[in-house]
Amino acid sequence: MSDEKRTALVTGGAAGIGQEIVRQLARESLRVVTLDWSGAGNRETANEICAAGGECIAVQGDVSVAADVTRAFEIAGDVDVLVNNAAYSQGDGFLLDMPEEVLDRTLAVCLKGVLLCSQAALRSMTRNRRGCILNISSVNAMAGIHLAAYTAAKGGILSLTRVLAAQYGSYGIRINTISPGTILSESSRVHYERHPDINADLLALYPNGRFGSTQDIAAAVSFLISDQAFFINGANIPVDGGLTAVRQLPSLRSQS
């Protein structure tokens, strides 16, 4: 791989938003390392990128396991861009219905994983005195929508973004958050089809009359890692079609 290219590491790149971010960064001639627990899906993403003439390496691993994160960054080398996208919300919902293992796993992937990957990236970024970290949070962190553990973790990401931007801005490192609204991917489309009442409640709140796409988020990532965004640091950018501009969100029913 050419030394002239910037290197990006994207977590959760096997599908959905993460996969589209990998595609976008590869189109912009970044070499991309994708870290995901899904070995098969991750390899499919990397193979797709390489077949199109891009540069992508798939690393199977768990973002909440320090050894896996260390191995991914050793493979990647010095990372110029980190996108903390990996998430988990299976079994989440109302707190009184939540088993401890769901709470632990959700916080581990959605928040601990961001901490571990950011720590690994900052080691080389501080040495090189440049870099960009983008954390993918959620509108759940900005409004009481649903998913107790996921919302707590995503809220933690907003606070983490601010403190890291303050701590490492003097090194030439920018750290920002994107908070997506309802994004239709293959997996989320199935979810909303199973819950048409929730689908209708949410869609009615979007001023532009549609949910977001994975391309919407990838486009925001592309801008925020570019030189055009050099004065944006410590910010949370909602990419939500105006959802969080609405005064009152629906009260969602338990899905259990």
Return the active site residues: 150
The C-alpha atoms of residue 109 and residue 107 are separated, in whole angstroms, by 6
Length, in residues, of the chain: 256
The C-alpha atoms of residue 24 and residue 13 are separated, in whole angstroms, by 11
Query: Can you read off the two tokens belonging to residue 243?
Result: 């959802």
**In angstroms, what CA-CA distances link 103 with 12, 23, 93, 147, 254?**
19, 31, 10, 10, 17
- Placement of tokens 């900005």 in the chain: 142
The C-alpha atoms of residue 183 and residue 221 are separated, in whole angstroms, by 15
The C-alpha atoms of residue 249 and residue 242 are separated, in whole angstroms, by 12
CB 212 within 8 A of CB 189: no
CB 201 within 8 A of CB 142: no
**In angstroms, what CA-CA distances link 66 with 1, 69, 82, 153, 225?**
26, 5, 16, 18, 25
